[in-house]
Amino acid sequence: MNRNPTQPAMQTVINGTFGQCPVAPDALQGIKRQQTNPSRWDGAGWAGFAAALRARDVTLLDNMAARGAFATDAGGTAYGLPHGVVIARDAHQIAALLQTAQQYRVPITVRGGGLTTEGESVAFGGVLLDMTGMSRVLRVDADTLTVRTEAGIFWHSLAEELRRHDLDYLSAPLNLTSSVGGTLGVGGIDVNSPRLGCSADQALALQVVTPTGDIVECSDTHNAELFQRVILGYGQFGVITEATLKVRRYTPLRMHYFYYASLRTAIEDLQLIDRNDASDYSGILTIMDCAVNLLVAFDSPEREAVFHANWRGRLRGHGELGFTLCLLGRYALRPWKLREAWYLLQRKRAVFPEFRRPEHLRDGVMHDRTVVFSRAVWKHWGSRQMVIPDLATSADKFITAVERGNAVCRKYFPYYTLYCVGIKLRPEHRAHYEMSCIPPDAEGWAYGCEFEPVMPRDGAVYSRDLLQSFKNEIYDIGVDIGASYYRFGGMMKGYIRRVFGDALVDRHLAMKRAADPAMILNRDVIF
């Protein structure tokens, strides 16, 4: 019997039994969470739609090989098949697709790098629009420090092209195999977000195909309402096809790591650095909660010198030698945890391989930052699971959110990592942030933390129910403290109303219905 192509191969599944959530308030206990994929579209009118689409010279791939190639996303826990696949070629082709889809009420799911973890880039029927066919850099202007690019390009490809002009991006997501358009639609957070804001804040202008098939240029001053809806709009108000982005002159990266045994202390020091603009880049990567790495990096020796003169003495982190001695003392008193100590050593070596490679390091200076953070933070688990629930909070709630989230990680998994970074909010872009990863109560600063279990080895996987239970407990924290999430949508769509409230969600739903009468574009991501 042939295996269903939407189902993973047979593997060892690790289940678990857990008691009551230790962090959720009583009001949340017993509330049914969304545990399953969104409902599959029933296929009504597909034959007529497919014929109409082909009559407009839009190539529709409906063989099983094409459909099966997009059956899941990077998360590996959501599975679905589109009825057909369209590879994006230009804005006019996408406009024809959306116009026809409106007529026949066929859902369209837009996909870039497929790096979602909640099924947002998985099509449960309808058409999967693969944007990676639009991946050209259209114009690089070294005088105005801007680049015009198609939206399906991956950030690492854009970075390579910019380097040929001695330029670099300003702010990109930590995983550079994300597409530019997908990133602008969800925000994009990097270790220089404490200075520059989200990746989306670097967008000067966009070409957008609306849900009804209009091709529109927009910016903060031209068609501003559409621009504000599309930026951080989770693909609800249009398909980004081209983007004009701010860039900068290329400079090598001067990095320093400080090590902590206290998660709270590291977060306090991170916020001290951010508030005082003491570095060009900052972020926290932990290996468990007892091996915390605070990154501080600079674009110039002048900035680096000012930091050492004015701020290094105020940080409580150790150098690598001091931290090693600290850990030795910790595990000397806890010999029953030597396995954990060995894991921390191995993990540190595995997480930061780039830092030891001579082609990227010269005289202690990182000369190619396009490879630095991507592998260090994002786990490439191949066809296995990638589960990364997150919380985004105002500055004053951040320590609480991380400590409670860490307690949940400890409860579920023997090993895990946390990644924390700040986001500087730009007052002129406030309209972009209304219902997004930026918490409604954040002023000046927001902070995000990703909670990433380390998946078991030897081909084993955690059960889907276990992983969903873990994610629910993280998301419950957000409801309890009034936070937001970086990757909301898809399989955790049920949390959106609990976080933002009915009034705000209903207002955005009304805008969605006005822009997308048949409600076809990225159905079930939010609405």
pTM for the full model? Answer: 0.88
Are both 395 and 348 inside the same structural domain? yes
Is 431 inside any structural domain? yes
Are both 420 and 280 inside the same structural domain? yes
Write down the pLDDT at residue 349. Answer: 64
What is the count of structural domains for the chain?
2
Write down the pLDDT at residue 425. Answer: 92
Is 13 inside any structural domain? no
Q: 93 is written with which tokens?
A: 């082709």
Is 78 inside any structural domain? no
Are both 396 and 480 inside the same structural domain? yes
Is 244 inside any structural domain? yes
Are both 191 and 259 inside the same structural domain? no
Are both 227 and 362 inside the same structural domain? no
* φ/ψ (deg, to 5) at 183: -65, -45
CATH number at residue 215: 3.30.465.10
Are both 208 and 314 inside the same structural domain? no
Q: Is 248 left (phi over 0), alpha (psi -120 to 50) or beta?
A: beta
Are both 261 and 368 inside the same structural domain? yes
- Boundary-marking domain end, from 204, 223, 249: 249
Are both 359 and 463 inside the same structural domain? yes
Is 428 inside any structural domain? yes
Sheet hosting strand 254-260, strand order edge to edge: 254-260, 292-298, 281-287, 416-424, 445-453, 390-394
Are both 361 and 443 inside the same structural domain? yes
Spatial CB neighbours of 512, under 8 Å, sequence gap ≥ 6: 236, 237, 519, 526, 527
Write down the pLDDT at residue 118. Answer: 84
**Cβ neighbours, 10 Å, residue 337:** 14
SS3 178: coil
Tokens 């983007």 locate to 243
Distance of CA 291 to the CA centre of its chain: 23
- Boundary-marking domain end, from 249, 277, 296: 249
Are both 245 and 262 inside the same structural domain? no
Is 175 inside any structural domain? yes
Q: Are 449 and 437 in contact, with CB atoms under 8 Å apart?
A: no
Write down the pLDDT at residue 7. Answer: 39
Q: Are 412 and 455 in contact, with CB atoms under 8 Å apart?
A: no
SS3 48: helix
Write down the pLDDT at residue 363. Answer: 62
Write down the pLDDT at residue 59. Answer: 96
Are both 244 and 259 inside the same structural domain? no
Spatial CB neighbours of 253, under 8 Å, sequence gap ≥ 6: 281, 297, 298, 299, 365, 366, 367, 369, 372
Distance CA 444, CA 431 (A): 14
Is 47 inside any structural domain? no
Are both 310 and 457 inside the same structural domain? yes
Beta bridge partners of 417: 287, 452
CA atoms within 13 A on the CB side of 478: 33
Write down the pLDDT at residue 54. Answer: 94
**C-alpha distance from residue 295 to each of 148, 267, 286, 364, 372 (Å):** 31, 11, 11, 14, 12
**C-alpha distance from residue 20 to each of 24, 114, 336, 338 (Å):** 9, 33, 28, 30
Element (H, E) at 181: helix 180-186
Residue 358 belongs to domain spanning = 254-488
CATH number at residue 365: 3.40.462
Beta bridge partners of 168: 248
Distance CA 122, CA 128 (A): 8
Q: Give the ranges where 413-527 is alpha helix by DSSP (H).
A: 464-481, 496-515
Distance CA 328, CA 369 (A): 32
Per-residue pLDDT of the chain (527 residues; tens, 9 = 90+): 333 434 344 456 676 554 444 443 433 444 445 445 677 899 999 999 999 999 999 999 999 999 999 998 888 778 889 999 999 999 999 999 999 999 999 999 999 988 888 889 999 999 999 999 999 999 999 999 999 999 999 998 898 899 899 999 988 887 778 899 999 999 888 888 999 889 999 999 999 999 999 999 999 999 999 999 999 899 999 999 999 999 999 888 888 888 888 899 999 999 999 999 999 999 998 877 777 889 898 989 999 999 999 999 999 988 777 777 777 777 788 888 778 777 777 766 665 544 455 555 556 565 555 545 444 444 444 445 678 889 999 999 999 999 999 999 999 988 888 989 999 998 877 778 888 889 888 988 999 999 988 777 666 778 777 888 888 899 999 999 999 998 777 777 778 888 888 999 999 999 999 999 999 999 988 88
Rounded to 5°, the CA angle 378-183-150 comes to 120
Is 470 inside any structural domain? yes
